[in-house]
């Protein structure tokens, strides 16, 4: 099963993926945790290009091509082999990120994202957890985390608060259009509260064969 986590910067995706992976592993389930952009050697090299530098370093079209190239390598080297081996794959961001980030530029860019996804990727998650939070709160979290870590991967945060509000609106639109795949979970509250919400929500969507669902209930 392929499960992705989405949300604006600072919504807590990375921490919550670790929490869910630990809980699944405690249940004896095989789990691979990965991320985008990145998740394979080649994709991590592209990540460094995408997430560092000035906010306007790349044109929207170039960003879409770079994200698609990284995603294809990630699928070939990490995601597809893990799924073929029967593992649950938990991924921090996937195609909905590209739809939300690059799709804000206009209809031509949105069409380009969908065209490349159809021709070069062709894979959608079985389940997407959308962590929803006010971008004002999330951006403050994200900038604080980056400052502590001393990370230079702040190019998306440099786009500003209005950009983050646009992201949230696009994510919620995706969730409204694909409710069978995208599950909206509030990211407000303590990390433990959010982790519990995610755990219960994911259990409801997991197939009986996963081992997380009791078929007698």
Q: What is the CATH number of the domain that holds 11?
A: 3.40.50.300
pLDDT in tens, 32-70: 999 999 999 999 999 999 888 777 888 889 999 999 999
Position 135 in a domain: yes
CA distances from 65 to 31, 50, 123, 195 (A): 29, 11, 17, 34
CA-CA distance, 92 to 1, in Å (whole number)? 14
The whole model's pTM is what?
0.87
Give the pLDDT band (50/70/90) at residue 215: very low
* Residue of 134, 128, 144, 145 whose CA lies nearest to 198: 128
The range of the structural domain enclosing residue 60 comes to: 2-210
Residues belonging to the chain? 217
Per the prediction, the chain carries an average pLDDT of 88
Please tell me what DSSP assigns to residue 210.
Answer: G
DSSP H helix total and E strand total for the chain:
9, 5
Q: Is residue 109 part of a domain?
A: yes
């Amino acid at each position: 099963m392929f499960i992705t986590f989405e949300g604006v910067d600072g919504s807590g995706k990375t921490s919550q993926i670790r929490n869910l992976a630990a809980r699944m592993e405690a249940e004896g389930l095989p789990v691979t945790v990965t991320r985008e952009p990145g998740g394979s050697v080649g994709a991590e090299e592209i990540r460094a290009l995408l997430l560092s530098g000035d906010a306007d370093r790349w044109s929207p079209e170039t960003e879409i091509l770079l994200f698609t190239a990284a995603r294809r390598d990630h699928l070939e080297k990490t995601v597809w082999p893990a799924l073929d081996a029967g593992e649950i794959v938990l991924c921090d961001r996937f195609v909905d990120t590209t739809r939300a980030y690059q799709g804000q530029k206009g209809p031509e860019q949105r069409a380009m994202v969908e065209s490349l996804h159809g021709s070069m990727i062709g894979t959608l998650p079985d389940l997407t957890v959308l962590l929803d939070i006010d971008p004002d709160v999330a951006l403050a979290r994200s900038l604080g985390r980056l400052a502590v870590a001393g990370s230079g991967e702040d190019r998306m945060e440099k786009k500003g608060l209005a950009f983050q509000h646009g992201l949230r609106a696009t994510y919620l639109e995706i969730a409204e259009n694909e409710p069978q795949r995208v599950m909206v979970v509030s990211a407000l509250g303590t990390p433990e509260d959010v982790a519990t919400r995610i755990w219960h929500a994911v259990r409801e969507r997991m197939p009986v064969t996963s081992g997380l669902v009791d078929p007698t209930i």
